[in-house]
Structure 1
């Protein structure tokens, strides 16, 4: 990974103008596609397979008058008046008629209609007109909504003085979230933090630009995707929030590593490539974990949530791509402007040292020479690395008594997580909107005049096709349901026109999101068998309120499987990265601490009202149903981000020879500053969505802000160092069998470091197709081949011979990138093994003579059609026919003429007849330990030095 990213970083710097131009064109194209294709956003929520959704689908066919979206108009008479006053009645009747003429309106109830009367308050002062529309919520056009608003306003104007009319109901129960200036405060805070962290306005601006471009491209793709299907209106806001946060953070990791390397005197282009390779590897890992967790939201089986997860995952993916391509190009354009300048004190010290050196060698220089020396030294002298006193003191404090630190963290996280036990989930309704919002005004007036339940009536429906008296049947069922506890009223109990389906409208005593209403739904459903046995009717509960309850139930049931997937995923991924058992377990426990604390704080604010007014929470109660699962998915990726960036530096120092305890201190000081800055930026971006944010998004934003704060500053910077200090060397233990089974994810860039160290090996300017130094390979049956030292120049040939097939094949397949090199040094086509094995495989063709029925020449010619750099022909001893061997020799000569290096393997005898005279022979024999034997010989008596020459 790091090697590929290193090459990508170098290319992006060299082709920086092309990269920037490509991204500009991409932005224009996705923006144009969004403008041409976008179909708008949708707030409709449906869950296939639930009782409420299936019943609603049946009603759409049998009783369309009650299956579509609905709205409400509440009309309140002036003090001392009633809706039966002549002036009130005339205005209401005209208003009902005008509302019924609006496009997509199916029927409007009237308090003066005996067949389908509108609800009237006990004191006759208020009536609730129900507007039934033709179509679900997503299909109702803005023109219809606007027309309903106009007619309601006209009704209000026609009413007597002191009377009022307001429009609301299910159709207006949720609003499209919008970006406001408040969210921009988060970006300003991010800019300030970036300037303080990076010490340069140019460097600080790059992460912001990176995030904005990533989000812009993602939003274009998202709105263009609406042509394929409906997308929930909360989705783009969630994607923007997450895209800004990770876009800034990912760029910060790369830019900070780049400036750190520039401070050590590294060349600009080389520094960009290395920063892309090392910090970029962590970015890829963090991005993948976030994307996998977000796509994992599909575990819940809810379409709108799956779409939300996929859209957010695409945003993160685009942000990673921008960070790895556009950001290196922009860093290349910034050039030397990003190199940290030595402090004044360091420049003076360097000048004095240079002057002293000159005086010692030549005497006192002239003043102008001294100034020139000062200037030169000030430009080239890198600032000295100094330990950060604050973070050095921090890590020293938390690891002084690690057991006590761990106990305190566990106790604190337990206390903060405890309120999460009271957390309740529901789909939000108009009751959570701002108090001056028209839909909220209607909601409050309905509650005041009729009771909370009228804001979310239930519909109980079933087939009555076998009934001989459908009207009496529905009255009987309605009367029985009306006697249930928690039922405020049953205003409607009727069959449809064809008398095959009946509906009962049930008004609960509690509000749509109350625990009482949820209990009533469960009570009615528990009586299903009773109604079936007693009346022969298969009843189901549906309606907007019942759908919301089913959504919450299904999401709640999916939470545990999703948590198991996320926790299991974190254990596997972190084990791959850190090659340890204890570190992943500790990281996963810390992640659960962060999730618990986030849930606990959300419950305190939204359920118990702590700081609710300060955070502009319009109504306490249940939070949006998908908050827990979305928060867990996003926080998982962010937690792994900090874990990798912090602990990988500790592991890097430990692997390079430091003690476990010392590695904790040095690794912490090397990365804590950047983790702190990244966390503060994340928190600022998330918090900015809380004060004036959409109530759907507000609890998610608050939970993420708390989760990031706890994860970064308590879990990763207190709990993690303490646990590592407590475990000591055992923290990095991993069984050998597990180490072999799991693939390696080189986040620290160890492979790249090894490649760079071998740049001039075996000698400066060498052009060998194959070079091996003390190469060891584990062959079949546990045998070890090597150490082998050999060099094959470009276009050269080597005969590989052995007494057994296994060692010969093992060596050939190792240099061909097909099996792993166990020890020593090896390069094929200039690429280091095993780090670049995947690239080597594309440049090396392998032909197994035994698999070609003893006639491999045709396979060799086909392989040469792919223009390989190296050709390996194994098992040449199986070619027994003289004509076939002659044909193979001719094919090998063709490869040599094309400048392809050829390695010929044989067992029992050297295939000297297949190569030109004097071709060197490598005798490979297996041994039981490394170094058991391989030597270079030829069919002529020449020394190894002569062969290489």
Structure 2
């Protein structure tokens, strides 16, 4: 591979005015097609074969259409209404304002008028709830006015909307659904909204990418010691990310693509494009110092550093593409989006980059910054900080190894309390109507009222005379759990009572682990009730569905990690021609991953250090995404740093000297790459979306721990301690493995032959 890349690098450098226009044409075509054919992205996060699907099947059988409200893309809406302080909703003025509000709902064209909204006071009065406010008897009313803290002062009401999919909701319709209550608000009532009708999916603002780019530019100016060179990776990042995003947009014209796909592709595309370009330009700078021809330097840089980039990119693509094995559609698309961005990062680095090097020529590293360029790691005569730190590790490798493991272990400790959950109403910004509705409902009815468990019972196989007894037994069993606040009276499907629907209200909130345990316990009781009565039942609702998603994703982490790590392990054996180096690379990743989970739990779940003012469970799909992303990036740094160490070892240096020399040449570029990654990912903390914040922090922390502790301390320490054994490989395996020549041995042989031919005397006569 190194020879092919070497030849291409020279060609692209020499024929730059052919390569650059070709890339420009490709970029314009992809951008134009992506813009013109782009379709709205999907927000469907559905997952197949969840336990809650059983309840939906029962609902469809006995309560046709009832399961529509529990679909991921359903348009739902709940109004939470509160009387002025010290008053009740049943007071004449407030009751009149409520009546007027319901009348206006009847005029709203996005409401499903085939399912009329009942007058809440009348509904509660008919059920006897105003006189005897027992929640277990009355909470089946269309509007619940049984606030625990202040009776008859807080109400919530679900309203059926005629829109079919969440993605169909426009800003105008969302505003209309909120504004319909303005008269009620002017009359003194507090009216807030929850549900998908009130939830707007905010796209990334773009500010984080701009900030990340700005910091990346500063870092590269320092890394190169020059200004012009710092702009080249920015150019490749813009082209690579733009092309990848355009291709994703183009895909929306054929299939539904989840909206989060472009967010992930943005993070990956910017960071990898800059990193890979940074690595190649740094090697080009070194080659310029030892070779006379810039064209030859470009070819050699691409043949060596470019080979490492290809295999580093492959590890990222494997890690992200491997998300498809999880079996969750939106994760598959997110992984594929990131893999596309990674592929374009590699493609621009090895095809566009050498042409840009040719276009800038020797002016690339001008003007130089004197203080930064004074100690250039690409100059073998200089003494860099990387070389000093490498020597420090070489003097006491056991000590640095132990210290790095202790630090990572301490950081990992909080991960034992990891609690997962999907973004709910309680994770919305405090200024949003959705969050206000959640808190108002919690204040009036308890936090569990925001996470009702919908229990659907199928009594088809139960004798008619025992059906009431069976449902009563189910209700008694569910009510007996300590985590259950109360269970409502059953709603029957008809006179035959072949189906029943009950609502269980937990004491804790939807994302609380106690609520998830309650869902599991309630399902486990089915066996005994089925054997006694023949009754089957299922539990659905957002709380049960979220608990199912958490369980599925947690169960996929280990097999996913095994497959991805196994594939990357085999790939790294090809790169390093070693068994122990890939093995320690993978084990080091486990330590950095544990530390990342611990830090994320500490900040976002426990709310330490005041970085966020609203702690929540960790997003349930963050761990598996984090593993895929950080694993790929970790292997990038492993390849960038350790291939240079192997190159020095292959050239005859001792393991310790090879480590120090490789550290001297590679530390600055890996440090710069890691700082850029941390800046790009960390800038997403500025987004308002809680998911983006936690993703950005976790990725930034993962890069920080893996690059600076594992790759730059732990792995070099192990290489010194293992000595020549680090590079051992069984002879039989060495014979059958293809020689990909990442360290560029064949390039040196090729150049040496060229030199020898030029030295031969020219025949005369």
Q: Does the pair score TM above 0.5?
A: yes
Residue 82 (structure 2) aligned to one of 76, 79, 100: 76
Q: Is the 8 A contact 1:433 1:695 kept in 2?
A: yes
Q: 1:32: which partner in 2?
A: 32
Q: 1:493: which partner in 2?
A: 490
Structure 1 residue 417, shift from structure 2 partner: 1.0
Q: 1:610: which partner in 2?
A: 608
Q: 1:230: which partner in 2?
A: 256
Secondary structure of 1:416's aligned partner: helix
Q: 1:482: which partner in 2?
A: 479
* Structure 1 residues 271 and 75: alpha-carbon distance in aligned structure 2, compared to 1, 3 A threshold: same
Aligned pairs for 1:262-301 (under 5 A) are 262-301=288-327
Q: 1:165: which partner in 2?
A: 191
Q: 1:648: which partner in 2?
A: 643
Length-normalised TM-score, structure 1: 0.72
Q: 2:512: which partner in 1?
A: 514
The RMSD of aligned alpha carbons is 2.9
Secondary structure of 1:524's aligned partner: helix
Aligned pairs for 1:112-131 (under 5 A) are 112-113=122-123, 116-120=141-145, 121-122=147-148, 123-131=151-159
Q: Is the 8 A contact 1:687 1:701 kept in 2?
A: yes
> Which deviates further from its counterpart, 482-491 or 236-245?
482-491
Q: Deviation digits for residues 96-143 of structure 1, max 9, x if unmatched? A: 34435443636446523358521222311011011234576x445223
Aligned pairs for 1:718-757 (under 5 A) are 718-757=713-752
Q: 1:17: which partner in 2?
A: 17
Secondary structure of 1:166's aligned partner: strand
* Structure 1 residues 6 and 389: alpha-carbon distance in aligned structure 2, compared to 1, 3 A threshold: closer
* Structure 1 residues 410 and 11: alpha-carbon distance in aligned structure 2, compared to 1, 3 A threshold: same
Aligned pairs for 1:280-429 (under 5 A) are 280-339=306-365, 385-429=380-424
Q: Deviation digits for residues 647-689 of structure 1, max 9, x if unmatched? A: 1111111111112221111111011111111111111111101
Aligned pairs for 1:491-890 (under 5 A) are 491=488, 493-496=490-493, 501-611=499-609, 613-614=610-611, 617-759=612-754
Secondary structure of 2:394's aligned partner: helix
Secondary structure of 2:160's aligned partner: strand
Q: Please tell me whether residue 156 in structure 1 is matched to residue 182 in structure 2.
A: yes
Structure 1 residue 522, shift from structure 2 partner: 0.5
Q: 2:242: which partner in 1?
A: 216
Structure 1 residue 559, shift from structure 2 partner: 0.8
Structure 1 residue 630, shift from structure 2 partner: 0.9
Q: Is the 8 A contact 2:2 2:740 kept in 1?
A: no
* Structure 1 residues 233 and 765: alpha-carbon distance in aligned structure 2, compared to 1, 3 A threshold: farther
CA distance, structure 2, for counterparts of residue 228 and residue 344 of structure 1? 53
Q: Is the 8 A contact 1:109 1:116 kept in 2?
A: no
* Structure 1 residues 383 and 88: alpha-carbon distance in aligned structure 2, compared to 1, 3 A threshold: closer
Structure 1 residue 388, shift from structure 2 partner: 2.7
Secondary structure of 2:192's aligned partner: strand
The higher-RCO structure (CA 8 Å, 6+ apart) is 2
Q: Is the 8 A contact 1:193 1:680 kept in 2?
A: yes
Secondary structure of 2:739's aligned partner: coil
Q: 1:45: which partner in 2?
A: 45
Q: 1:103: which partner in 2?
A: 110
CA distance, structure 2, for counterparts of residue 269 and residue 164 of structure 1? 72
Structure 1 residue 252, shift from structure 2 partner: 0.4
Q: Deviation digits for residues 871-897 of structure 1, max 9, x if unmatched? A: xxxxxxxxxxxxxxxxxxxxxxxxxxx
Residue 440 (structure 1) aligned to one of 435, 445, 450: 435
Q: Deviation digits for residues 306-331 of structure 1, max 9, x if unmatched? A: 11111111111112111111222222
* Structure 1 residues 507 and 268: alpha-carbon distance in aligned structure 2, compared to 1, 3 A threshold: same
* Structure 1 residues 391 and 586: alpha-carbon distance in aligned structure 2, compared to 1, 3 A threshold: same
Larger Rg: 1
Secondary structure of 1:759's aligned partner: helix
Structure 2 stretches lacking a partner, 5+ long = 127-139
Structure 1 residue 246, shift from structure 2 partner: 0.6
> Which deviates further from its counterpart, 113-122 or 504-513?
113-122
CA distance, structure 2, for counterparts of residue 83 and residue 181 of structure 1? 45
Q: Deviation digits for residues 145-197 of structure 1, max 9, x if unmatched? A: 74354243232323464321011135545733422424422221111011111
Q: Deviation digits for residues 292-345 of structure 1, max 9, x if unmatched? A: 011111222111111111111111111211111122222211112115689999
CA distance, structure 2, for counterparts of residue 60 and residue 18 of structure 1? 62
CA distance, structure 1, for counterparts of residue 56 and residue 26 of structure 2? 43
Q: Is the 8 A contact 1:95 1:151 kept in 2?
A: no
Secondary structure of 1:318's aligned partner: helix
CA distance, structure 2, for counterparts of residue 151 and residue 652 of structure 1? 65
Structure 1 residue 211, shift from structure 2 partner: 1.0
Q: Is the 8 A contact 1:87 1:160 kept in 2?
A: no
Q: 1:2: which partner in 2?
A: 2
* Structure 1 residues 395 and 430: alpha-carbon distance in aligned structure 2, compared to 1, 3 A threshold: same
Secondary structure of 1:621's aligned partner: coil
Q: 2:93: which partner in 1?
A: 87
Structure 1 residue 419, shift from structure 2 partner: 1.0
CA distance, structure 1, for counterparts of residue 288 and residue 345 of structure 2? 25
Q: Deviation digits for residues 819-860 of structure 1, max 9, x if unmatched? A: xxxxxxxxxxxxxxxxxxxxxxxxxxxxxxxxxxxxxxxxxx
CA distance, structure 2, for counterparts of residue 225 and residue 725 of structure 1? 49
Structure 1 residue 26, shift from structure 2 partner: 2.6
Q: Please tell me whether residue 178 in structure 1 is matched to residue 176 in structure 2.
A: no
* Structure 1 residues 151 and 634: alpha-carbon distance in aligned structure 2, compared to 1, 3 A threshold: closer
* Structure 1 residues 417 and 322: alpha-carbon distance in aligned structure 2, compared to 1, 3 A threshold: same
Q: Is the 8 A contact 2:420 2:618 kept in 1?
A: yes
CA distance, structure 1, for counterparts of residue 482 and residue 639 of structure 2? 55
Structure 1 residue 492, shift from structure 2 partner: 6.0
CA distance, structure 2, for counterparts of residue 535 and residue 87 of structure 1? 50
Q: Deviation digits for residues 626-648 of structure 1, max 9, x if unmatched? A: 11111111111111111111111
* Structure 1 residues 109 and 147: alpha-carbon distance in aligned structure 2, compared to 1, 3 A threshold: farther
Q: Is the 8 A contact 1:427 1:548 kept in 2?
A: yes
Q: 2:272: which partner in 1?
A: 246
Q: Is the 8 A contact 1:582 1:733 kept in 2?
A: yes
Secondary structure of 1:63's aligned partner: coil
Q: 2:453: which partner in 1?
A: 458
Q: 2:173: which partner in 1?
A: 147
Q: Is the 8 A contact 2:12 2:351 kept in 1?
A: yes
Q: Give the structure with the higher percent helix.
A: 2
Q: Give the structure with the higher percent strand.
A: 1
* Structure 1 residues 53 and 680: alpha-carbon distance in aligned structure 2, compared to 1, 3 A threshold: same
Structure 1 residue 78, shift from structure 2 partner: 0.6
Report how many residues are paired. Answer: 728
* Structure 1 residues 453 and 764: alpha-carbon distance in aligned structure 2, compared to 1, 3 A threshold: same
Structure 1 residue 415, shift from structure 2 partner: 1.2
Structure 1 residue 208, shift from structure 2 partner: 1.2
CA distance, structure 2, for counterparts of residue 148 and residue 254 of structure 1? 49
Structure 1 residue 429, shift from structure 2 partner: 0.5
> Which deviates further from its counterpart, 147-156 or 650-659?
147-156
> Which deviates further from its counterpart, 58-67 or 22-31?
58-67
> Which deviates further from its counterpart, 426-435 or 495-504?
495-504
> Which deviates further from its counterpart, 483-492 or 325-334?
483-492
Q: Please tell me whether residue 132 in structure 1 is matched to residue 127 in structure 2.
A: no
